[in-house]
């Protein structure tokens, strides 16, 4: 048995303090039924991963125990527990509130936030490197499209949308950005990319530091206000999408601007005939992961299924999927917490079992954070699969009209 709980050591102000941080969110309707723990796929995989115990500490006023509970940073904030809760208690929101009380977040989380505030992007990419990378991608697309006049539309006012992405697509994965811009070109999209503010990520979605969360996201919306697009489209990055929408919903006080995920506009283009695809170009069996921030938290479920079913010949669903999907194990900023690599691979096992059960050879992972985890689990568990963003599969299925007078490619 554990130590007895001493009533005199309980702090009744704790629940009110957390409720204040959550803007009066009431979690007192918790029934202590344990459905949250039943819904947490990780509760039996390692210690200090029991949401029911954590929320009881908060409700009882066990301040010291709750504030120092490893659960606060072990939790991936995936909200799988909330799906099962009969009262809809959002334990992920409570976890984030406690994270915000931590003076210095673990791992590299604070470094990422500081870099974003300093440079305008989470990877600390300097302006000259950003512009040069865009110029390089532009040159590659000119060759790929056989069109030397192709230009990336930068700082274009009044476009249909402003495209915002993840700094990894500039620093580490420029080929991913090239792929996306190729799809945009095929759809004859009227869009713009800002030369000033373009990174839609916000690591403070995970650290709980609301002042820094606003300091990071506000300039992006100010840039959108300057360029006046009809909406913001966010790349395949669940946390970038979720944080941008959260800021638009809860903090932005300027001209309202809709925020949508890139898979939503792909679905629109396919339905409208603007994006012509030949799914016989993708014959290898494919399964798809539902990123927690995109699907369970923001409800974008049908669009990505509509896109993939129009993109590949052999699509195989994982079970469970949709809002009941299993988190990949890298959510909540776990990738940036150096000490959690081993724990991430432990948490990856249920998702590995899902992947293997489908018999698919390609895992479609429409999220930057998730795909890094999937690549790690692919190597760790020796799955021998290929992990792809949805945009890559879409690009491979493109049917394009190549101008008859386009110059022939020449070999060096």
- Three-class DSSP labels, the chain: CCCCCCHHHCCCHHHHHHHHHCCCCCCCCCCCCCHHHHHCCCCCCCCCCCHHHHHHHHHHCCHHHHHCCCHHHHCCCCCHHHHHCCCCCCHHHHHHHHHHHCCCCCCCHHHHHHHHHHHCCCCCCCHHHHHHHHHHHHHHHHHHHCCCCCCCCECCCCCCEEEEECCHHHHCCHHHHHHHHHHHHHCCCCEEECCCCCECCCCHHHHCCHHHHHHHHHHHHHHHHHHCCCEEEECCCHHHHHHHHHHHHHCCCCCCCCEEEHHHHHHHHHHHCCCCECHHHCCCCEEECCCCCCCCCCCCCHHHHHHHHCCCCCEECCCCCHHHCCCCCCCCCHHHCHHHHHHHHHHHHHHHHHHHHHCCCEEECCCHHHHHHHHHHHHHCCCCCEEECHHHHHHHCECCCCCCCCCCCCCC
Domain boundaries, the chain: 11-101, 110-270, 275-396
Residue 5 pLDDT > 70, yes or no?
no
What average pLDDT does the segment 299-317 reach?
98
pLDDT digits (tens, 9 = 90+) for 178-214: 999 999 999 999 999 999 999 999 999 999 999 999 9
pLDDT band (50, 70, 90) for residue 40: very high
CATH number of 275-396: 3.40.50
Residue 237 has pLDDT above 70, yes or no: yes
Per-residue confidence band for 409, with pLDDT thresholds at 50, 70 and 90: very low
Least confident of 35-49, 114-128, 357-371: 35-49
Global pTM value: 0.94
Instruction: Please state which of the ranges 19-28, 217-226, 252-261, 378-387 shows the lowest mean pLDDT.
Output: 19-28
């Amino acid at each position: 048995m554990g130590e007895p709980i001493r009533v005199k050591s309980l702090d009744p102000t704790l629940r009110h303090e957390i409720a204040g941080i959550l803007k009066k969110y009431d979690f007192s309707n918790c029934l202590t039924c344990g459905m949250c723990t039943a819904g947490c796929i990780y509760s039996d995989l390692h210690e200090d991963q029991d949401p029911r115990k954590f929320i009881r500490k908060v409700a009882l006023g066990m301040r010291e125990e709750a504030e120092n509970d490893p659960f606060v940073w072990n939790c991936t904030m995936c909200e799988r527990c909330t799906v099962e809760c009969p009262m809809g208690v959002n334990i992920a929101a409570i976890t984030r509130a406690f994270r915000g009380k931590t003076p210095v977040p673990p791992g590299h989380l604070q470094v990422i936030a500081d870099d974003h505030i300093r440079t305008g992007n989470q990877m600390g990419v300097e302006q000259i490197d950003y512009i040069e990378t865009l110029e390089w991608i532009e040159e590659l697309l000119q060759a790929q499209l056989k069109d030397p006049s192709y230009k990336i539309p930068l700082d274009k006012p009044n476009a249909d949308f402003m495209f915002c992405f993840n700094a990894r697509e500039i620093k580490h994965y420029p080929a991913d950005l090239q792929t996306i811009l190729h799809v945009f070109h095929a759809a004859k999209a009227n869009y713009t990319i800002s030369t000033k503010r373009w990174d839609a990520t916000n690591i403070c979605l995970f650290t709980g530091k609301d002042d820094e969360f606003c300091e990071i996201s506000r300039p992006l919306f100010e840039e959108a206000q300057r360029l006046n697009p009809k909406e913001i489209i966010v790349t395949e990055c669940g946390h970038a999408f979720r944080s941008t929408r959260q800021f638009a919903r809860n903090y932005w006080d300027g001209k309202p601007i809709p925020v949508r995920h890139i898979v939503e506009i792909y679905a629109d283009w396919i339905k409208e005939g603007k994006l012509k695809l030949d799914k016989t170009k993708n014959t290898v069996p494919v399964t798809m992961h539902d990123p927690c921030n995109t699907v369970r938290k923001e409800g974008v479920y049908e669009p990505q299924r509509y896109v993939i079913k129009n993109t590949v010949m052999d699509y195989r669903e994982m079970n469970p999927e949709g809002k009941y999907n299993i988190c990949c194990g890298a959510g909540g900023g776990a990738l940036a917490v150096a000490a959690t690599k081993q724990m991430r691979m432990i948490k990856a096992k249920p998702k590995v079992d899902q992947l293997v059960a489908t018999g698919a050879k390609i895992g479609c992972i429409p999220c930057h954070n998730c795909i890094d985890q999937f690549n790690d689990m692919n190597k760790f568990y020796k799955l021998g699969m290929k992990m792809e963003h949805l945009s890559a599969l879409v690009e491979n299925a493109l049917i394009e009209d190549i101008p008859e007078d386009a110059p022939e490619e020449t070999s060096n």
